[in-house]
Amino acid sequence: MRIKNFLVAALLSCGSAFGQVNDFTTPLHLLQSQYETPYGALTTEKIKEDLDRVFHFLDASTPAKVIDGKTGKELKDLSKMDENTRLQQGSFRLASYEWGVTYSGMLEAAKATGDEKYFKYVQDRFKFLAEAKPHFIKQLDQYGVIDPQMRQMLKPHALDDAGAMCAAMIKFEQNKPNFDLRSVIDNYMNYIMYKEYRLADGTFARKRPQLNTLWLDDMYMAVPAIAQMGRLTGDMKYFNEATRQIKQFTQRMFVPEKGLYMHGWVESSDQHPAFFWGRANGWALLTMAEVLDVLPLSHPDRPWLLQQFKAHVKGLSKLQSKEGFWHQLLDRNDSYLETSATAIYTYCIAKGVNQGWLDPIAFGPVAYHGWSAVSTKINAQGQVEGTCVGTGMGFDPAFYYYRPVNVYAAHGYGPVISAGAEMIRLLKQFHPRLNDSAVQFYKEEQTYPSPIFSVSSRKGDVPAGSSRKGNQPVVFLIGDSTVKNGTGEGDNGQWGWGSFFDQFVKTATVENHALGGRSSRTFITEGLWEKVYNEIKKGDYLLIQFGHNDGGPLNTGRARASLRGIGEEVESVVMAGTGGEEKVYTFGHYLRTYIRQAKAKGANPIVLSPTPRNVWKDGKMERMSETYALWARQVAEQEKVPFVDLNDIAAKKTEALGETRGKSLFFDAAHTNKEGAILNAEAVTEGLRALKGTDIQKYLK
């Protein structure tokens, strides 16, 4: 078989069009892409560093203290509160909806990283709020005044005041805290379920900027808390209400042909303000992700909700920018790139992949590139840049185009923490890898050294050359199941000697590329040899052992036989499976192919005869001394390469144990168990030590 080297077909100057000069040594298709944001180099360690930086900024920026309004000093004894008492002001409000999202993100980070400081952040502030609650109620009763943040919690008057905080508190309540959080939760839920304004059909609505207006934001400001209440109480009415709300918002506001939600809907209007604002779509997607996370698998609305989540993800994924961000107005590329929406989408898509709701091959790279973008907006102080400030509902595009961004826009912090946490989970479950300069997601780690590679569907396959350490050689093994059975991990109790050969090798590494069922012919025709050939280098060793599968039919059934002998006979056959024509050569011809091509690369081929079969007569094992063992020796002599008569060496070692004991080393007529495979590996090593004309001995123990 002739192996083709991949050469540059045309050395053109087009590389300079990309600001790169081709030096006539690098193939043009391997030139590096000039990505504008980091691409293809995420690690859990780096993500954790980013999250820690955000954490330390927030921890310092959000004190949980009560102060005397006149003196500015901390008031530790809350029973002494008066009309001047208030919460110490920080950069962000402890009971705002943005901080409800942040608390949820902190809980996610604690679980994903195992770092307790994230959990403690939430615990300390929830405990503070819960324990301060009765004192602020008393303050309101006695003086008619109350800190605005505490008013939001104790006397909510909008979904913004209640939903996100309530959802985060219910999540924390699962930990059974030693302080009263449940009464705060119940107060929030009472407002959401029974006091918030609604349309006639029960959909949550607002009276601004027009009467009976739906804000897409309100899906998140109410529904996740309701679903979480269902998990907390087990009462199905909450799950039913959660999915009902999502359906009714979707019927009015989702545009199927775009796969996006409008930001607003006005009951009295024939034409609704069709602006696809980034963060509002984030709230909708986050709502569905949170509800799917807790909705019982048996709930009748779950299939619909999962399909709607997928439809929304599909629509959003099409609009991701080249930088990895999404735009402030999703379908208007001249609007700015916005961080909080990008972080929400990254979190939800990564979660969808981790939960099995989304295809990792299609959507893993979307989340990966999203986080790569978001991470660039975490500055040295841990502040999140590029986040749009609080935004009402507009009826013209300019309103959205010109909304300011600010590091103190609290909306960015929770989504960024959640996204980072979910990306850590993603990287622990999957193995992203650049292939042809594009991020691809793999369930198993890919260690191919080349920048463009094909992936085997066979478990246990070793990427050729992947074990190489510096300038040390690799010992490549090729052969059939007697060298590697199944995945090489003792499938069904059967082992090949190649699984243990590395125990006898030092300094050099061993790669077992043998595969069960292959013959000297099919190891070539199925492309297995080409993968080894492409990576074998000068100074490497190639151990070749075939013969067990070289008999049988030429073109029917498994169709793996070679012609008998070592001559240059050739026979053209029509393959029954495909109808195609194939030229079949002798066993010796195929062995010569391996030997000559390995030599051409500067490697050192060594031929082995097949392992002995479990066939006995008069206490002796059957040898292949007139067939494959003989032909292997003859080819080695012709090509002047070392030969190890493994057939004879292993047979003698087995015979020395006696027939009964010797037979116990086999699984069947050809395959060995673990003990038999180790004996064969020892026999290979003995044969190699005795060779002349090779220096492989210096790599043997």
Residues 610 and 679 in one domain: yes
Residue 12 belongs to a domain: no
Cα–Cα distance for residue pair 347/694, rounded to 1 Å = 57
Ramachandran area for residue 436 (φ above 0: left; ψ -120 to 50: alpha; else beta): left
Residues 507 and 414 in one domain: no
Residues 504 and 600 in one domain: yes
Q: How many domains does the chain have?
A: 2
Average pLDDT score over the chain: 93
Q: Return the pLDDT at 59.
A: 98
Q: What is the pLDDT of residues 359-378, one digit of tens each?
A: 999 999 999 999 999 999 99
Closest to 389 measured CA to CA, from 477, 328, 456: 328
- Among 393, 425, 444, the domain-final residue is 444
- What tokens does 601 get? 């690369």
Residue 653 belongs to a domain: yes
pLDDT at 392 over 80: yes
Q: What is the pLDDT of residues 91-120, one digit of tens each?
A: 999 999 999 999 999 999 999 999 999 999
pLDDT band for 38, please (50, 70, 90 cuts).
confident
Q: What is the pLDDT of residues 136-185, one digit of tens each?
A: 999 999 999 999 999 999 999 999 999 999 999 999 999 999 999 999 99
Give the chain's length: 701
The letter for the amino acid at 83 is: E
Is residue 416 a contact partner of residue 118, using CB atoms and an 8 Å limit?
A: no
- Among 444, 465, 491, the domain-final residue is 444
pLDDT at 285 over 50: yes
Which of 38-47, 198-207, 383-392, 413-422 has the least mean pLDDT? 38-47
The letter for the amino acid at 548 is: H
Closest to 560 measured CA to CA, from 525, 512, 529: 525
Structural domain including 399 reads 43-62+319-444
Q: Is the peptide bond before 209 cis (omega within 30 degrees of 0)?
A: yes
Closest to 518 measured CA to CA, from 465, 553, 561: 561
Residues 583 and 515 in one domain: yes
Distances in Å between the Cα of 403 and the Cα atoms of 233, 338, 391 are 40, 11, 7
pLDDT at 468 over 50: yes
Residues 689 and 566 in one domain: yes
Residue 302 belongs to a domain: no
Q: Which residue has the higher pLDDT, 289 or 452?
A: 289
Q: What is the pLDDT of residues 15-25, one digit of tens each?
A: 333 334 445 56
Return the H-helix or E-strand segment holding 542.
Answer: strand 541-545
Cα–Cα distance for residue pair 434/441, rounded to 1 Å = 9
Residues 395 and 525 in one domain: no
Residues 490 and 633 in one domain: yes
Per-residue burial over 391-430, b = 16 or more CB atoms within 10 Å of its CB, e = otherwise: bebbeeeeebeebebebebbbbbbbbbbbbbbbbbbbeeb
Provide the CATH number for the domain around residue 599.
3.40.50.1110
Mean pLDDT of 280-299: 98
Cα–Cα distance for residue pair 374/40, rounded to 1 Å = 14
The position carrying tokens 């907006």 is: 377
Residues 506 and 606 in one domain: yes
- What tokens does 479 get? 């052969």
Residue 466 belongs to a domain: no
- Among 427, 444, 461, the domain-final residue is 444
- End-to-end Cα, the chain, rounded Å: 35
Q: Return the pLDDT at 11.
A: 30
Residues 401 and 509 in one domain: no
Q: What is the pLDDT of residues 452-464, one digit of tens each?
A: 887 776 777 788 8
Q: Return the pLDDT at 446.
A: 85
The position carrying tokens 């449940």 is: 182
- Show the beta-strand stretches assigned E in 89-242: 213-215
pLDDT at 327 over 80: yes
pLDDT at 643 over 50: yes
Provide the CATH number for the domain around residue 342.
1.50.10.10
Entry pTM? 0.78
Residue 217 belongs to a domain: no
Catalytic residues: 481, 668, 671
Q: Return the pLDDT at 502.
A: 96
Residue 685 belongs to a domain: yes
pLDDT at 5 over 50: no
Helix axis angle, 159-173 relative to 217-233, nearest 10°? Answer: 30
Residues 481 and 396 in one domain: no
Residue 177 belongs to a domain: no
Q: Return the pLDDT at 1.
A: 39
Residue 121 belongs to a domain: no
pLDDT at 429 over 70: yes
Is residue 492 a contact partner of residue 499, using CB atoms and an 8 Å limit?
A: no
Q: Return the pLDDT at 24.
A: 52
Q: Return the pLDDT at 14.
A: 34
Closest to 598 measured CA to CA, from 680, 536, 505, 511: 536
pLDDT at 345 over 90: yes
Residues 424 and 479 in one domain: no
Residues 524 and 579 in one domain: yes
Closest to 546 measured CA to CA, from 482, 474, 610: 610
Q: What is the pLDDT of residues 54-87, one digit of tens each?
A: 999 999 999 999 999 889 999 999 999 999 999 9
Which of 325-329, 448-452, 611-615, 672-676 has the least mean pLDDT? 448-452
Cα–Cα distance for residue pair 546/395, rounded to 1 Å = 76
Cα–Cα distance for residue pair 531/535, rounded to 1 Å = 7
Q: Return the pLDDT at 282.
A: 98
Q: Return the pLDDT at 26.
A: 67
Q: Return the pLDDT at 312.
A: 98
